[in-house]
Structure 1
Amino acid sequence: MEYSIGSGSGAINIDKSVTSGRDQGQSTLRSPSTFATYIQWLYNHALAYKDTHPGTTYSANDLVLQYLRQPTYAGVNWENAAGPILTFWVEYIDQQPTQRIFGFVSPRTGRYIHVSHFAAALHGMIHQNGWPADEGTVGIGDMTGWAGDLVQSFGDWIVAKRADPSLSDSYAFGRTWIARKGGHSDHDFDEDVDAAIIAAASLANPSAPVSDVINASYAQPDDYGAWYTRFLQTRFGGSTTTAYDAALDTFDSLDPGVVAYREGVLGSYLGVQPRPWEFTPADLANLAQAWTDILSAKIAGTE
């Protein structure tokens, strides 16, 4: 079964049976305003659930993000990073006569935003209280978003090297794959950017309904390049040098939580951890530089 975006020769068909690997198929293509209505509905139900279940210790904001990120972003690793998911709450919402929204079109890029991936990154960053004070390093919150996806790009490099041991240019590979292919698509990149910006706004005003914070963010008139500039400013203090340092720390960090998350991503993605002879420190630096240069290109509007 297909749904169309647009009309005439410019229409794009979306096969409902084709999934992203995260969602169980897209129920339909949604606009940002439709998603805004949906998450406000979800937040109102979270308040009602807490009223009728007085023993619930989670905030309404937690409940909203729990529902949006499940069922894919659950399990032990995600519980450690973003907190557990209350099964009874999920069952309560699933019984309501409202169709779940799995995604919508970004008002800035025109690309599809997968709600579960976006919400998982957002919940992780909020749950971990953002990122380290040293913006050139990474924390577990980063690993639930942009840094975790960068680790997947490293996994793609290892897969490519195993298939063709003659490959040597990890920078060119990163520029070809990051925000394009494999485990780190353009959708992932955009969702990570959105999550970081919105997490910062939510942490600055934690009593505000997360639905209001999300909706206010998507209502901002920033254009394509300005939104990526906001990400650079919000997460890295406006410095591409700091962004590169943090990207490299994604691979080098010895923080126990980051190490565990990184190994978990690579273990699930590759089956086995990369072997020491399969990569060099230069490969990691090249991938970090490629990610930073892609961000710079998006700010400039050239990618």
Structure 2
Amino acid sequence: MEISATGEGDYTTWCNLLVSSGDTSISTAGFDTNRQLTAAQAAAARNTGFTHIGRYVVGASKYITSQEFAGLRTAGFKLFPIHQRFNNSATVMTRANGLVHGREALDRARVFGLPHDTTMFFAVDFDAQDPEISGPVMDYFRGVNDALAWAIERELKVGIYGTRNVCQRVIDAGLASAAFVAGMSTGYSGNMGFRMPDQWHYNQIVELPIDLAGTSIPIDKDVVSSRAASVDLTHILPPPVEREGAATDTGFDAVFEWVCRAEIECERALSEASSPLQPLQVFVGDVPSIIAHSLRLPTYWGGLMWPIYTPRNPTSSFQALAEAACLQAIDGMAPAKPVTSRDVEHFAATFLGYHTWGLPSAVDSYGVGDLGGWALDLLQAWGNYKRASSSGDVYDWMVDNIGVSDASGFGYADVAADADAYLIAWDRFNTGFKPFSESMRQVYQSGPSSRISEFYQLRFGGDTENVATAFKRLITGPGVLDPIPLSEYALRRAAGLEDGDPMPTEQEAELCGRALAQKLETLGT
């Protein structure tokens, strides 16, 4: 029980020997609650002396939101995550529900950025008797374990919340490794006559209200074991928050959350389709490009350019099976694409250009990867300028329309998509190839204007001359299409240039580049 040694048979000592809750008057380092806490309430709880908090990752009105995550992190809490959807009777303890709950836990852990081998506690919130433990409860935890085994990039450990008896039984069966004991349920038979599980991490001893920043919040006090598994939130880069108006219950970025779910679905599909003779899990490194491919469909896949410029060419039958399994899993998601105002199809196509061809080597030059992003968009704006029959200066027209008018072919959504795609590709090339969501977590910490500014700095050194020179070299220099079997005709068609539309001259290309630089500076503030 980890009671402080006093050399006396005091109340705390004999109380812990008699009842599962022990001495409920002692101070505890931990508590759990089903309330969503504000930043002020989190700070107040930490100032009270609590260091560990148990919070729910799912469940209406009790799951962790973006504001709460930020508040808990700022306050310096250590989190022990809890998954519970009722689980209050044997009838709901099924393998099928265990599979669903395990999948949900993987998704939430990916969103929160919980590290490898984090312990997630799954609840048995009733006084399970031996037949129920041997049957439904074990079935449920087999389902949880089977679901968690799908994870390839980051694994979770299984913890169990329940009476002493059910915790020990499930741990002895190898279906959990840590116990969160419901010690305050002193009347439960599973807490009577059973010793504390050896692998107890938390003991829930009493429910009571506590004043946090002027509001009465119901909490359960939890004794924290010296072996307790937890996540120090100060070491976690938080999930990006939604900044662009998409509907989101949690407050986290909608595109980011969707990508996290897609990654889990792909890992599930690869794991389920794998066998000793068909090891598809080794292709988990393909998942970012597979997700991007699914997002760019159908707009950026048909026609002459895209299948040649960013092809899907599996090098083996196994790789082809892996991609097909992932795409089928993503197609089964609801929604099948993120619900957002951002142009995710454009973003995905641009990312695949850099993913396939790499980043340019110099800030004042071009790379083949640029063709799927800002370069093609600027060429399309050029074509629209010519068709507008404008007698005005090309620079003025570009400044007036880029990032403003969708009719320019280079509206704000296009600029933002190009910026995000480059930044995420840059993060992957420069910090290691990791899950797609982890690069998004890094890049989406800032808002769209800041991301456009960062793109301007990273890609062009924040210099007008570099943008102008890069586009001028792309248009007039030799060899831009040499690495790929793509004709100038196909490129012109992809840019929307009609047969009578001329390519820009060297001077016109320079003016187009200068105008783009001006707009990147303006939109990035």
What TM-score bracket applies, with the shorter chain setting the length?
0.7 to 0.9
1:31-180 paired onto structure 2 within 5 Å: 31=248, 33-51=253-271, 52=273, 54=278, 59-75=286-302, 76-84=304-312, 88-89=324-325, 92-93=328-329, 95-104=331-340, 112-131=341-360, 133-161=361-389, 167-180=391-404
- Displacement of 1:142 in angstroms is 0.7
- C-alpha contact 1:140 1:261 (8 A) present in aligned 2: no
| TM-score, normalising length: structure 1 | 0.74
Of 406, 426, 430 in structure 2, the residue corresponding to residue 200 of structure 1 is: 426
| TM-score, normalising length: structure 2 | 0.45
Task: Provide, for residues 204-251 of structure 1, a one-character-per-residue CA deviation record: whole Å limited to 9, x for no partner.
Answer: 234310122113321x24673x43331122112333321221132332
Give the letter for the 1:187 counterpart.
A
CA distance in 2, matches of 1:146, 1:171: 16
- C-alpha contact 2:258 2:338 (8 A) present in aligned 1: no
Alignment RMSD, CA only?
2.9
239-248 or 66-75, which moves further after superposition?
Answer: 239-248
133-142 or 260-269, which moves further after superposition?
Answer: 260-269
Partner of 2:453: 229
Task: Provide, for residues 38-97 of structure 1, a one-character-per-residue CA deviation record: whole Å limited to 9, x for no partner.
Answer: 111111222233331647667122211111111111145223322328783475135525
Q: Which is richer in helix?
A: 1
> How many residues are paired up?
257
- C-alpha contact 1:175 1:291 (8 A) present in aligned 2: yes
- Displacement of 1:196 in angstroms is 1.0
* Secondary structure in structure 1 of the residue aligned to 2:387: helix
Tell me: CA distance 1:69–1:298, structure 2 relative to 1, closer, same or farther (3 Å). same
CA distance in 2, matches of 1:236, 1:261: 27
- C-alpha contact 2:343 2:417 (8 A) present in aligned 1: yes
- C-alpha contact 1:136 1:245 (8 A) present in aligned 2: yes
Q: Which is richer in strand?
A: 2
Tell me: CA distance 1:93–1:153, structure 2 relative to 1, closer, same or farther (3 Å). same
- C-alpha contact 2:255 2:338 (8 A) present in aligned 1: no
- Identical residues among aligned pairs (%): 19
1:185-264 paired onto structure 2 within 5 Å: 185-218=411-444, 220-221=445-446, 224=449, 226-257=450-481, 260=486, 263-264=489-490
Segments of 5+ residues of structure 1 without an aligned counterpart are: 1-27, 105-111
Tell me: CA distance 1:239–1:283, structure 2 relative to 1, closer, same or farther (3 Å). closer
* Secondary structure in structure 1 of the residue aligned to 2:342: strand
- Displacement of 1:280 in angstroms is 4.3
Q: Which has the higher contact order (CA 8 A, sep 6+)?
A: 1
Segments of 5+ residues of structure 2 without an aligned counterpart are: 1-244, 314-319
Partner of 1:8: none
- Displacement of 1:126 in angstroms is 1.7
- C-alpha contact 1:151 1:250 (8 A) present in aligned 2: no
* Secondary structure in structure 2 of the residue aligned to 1:184: coil
CA distance in 1, matches of 2:432, 2:443: 15
* Secondary structure in structure 2 of the residue aligned to 1:270: coil
* Secondary structure in structure 1 of the residue aligned to 2:433: coil
- C-alpha contact 2:468 2:514 (8 A) present in aligned 1: yes
Tell me: CA distance 1:33–1:289, structure 2 relative to 1, closer, same or farther (3 Å). closer
* Secondary structure in structure 2 of the residue aligned to 1:73: coil
* Secondary structure in structure 2 of the residue aligned to 1:257: coil
CA distance in 2, matches of 1:190, 1:223: 7
- Displacement of 1:125 in angstroms is 1.0
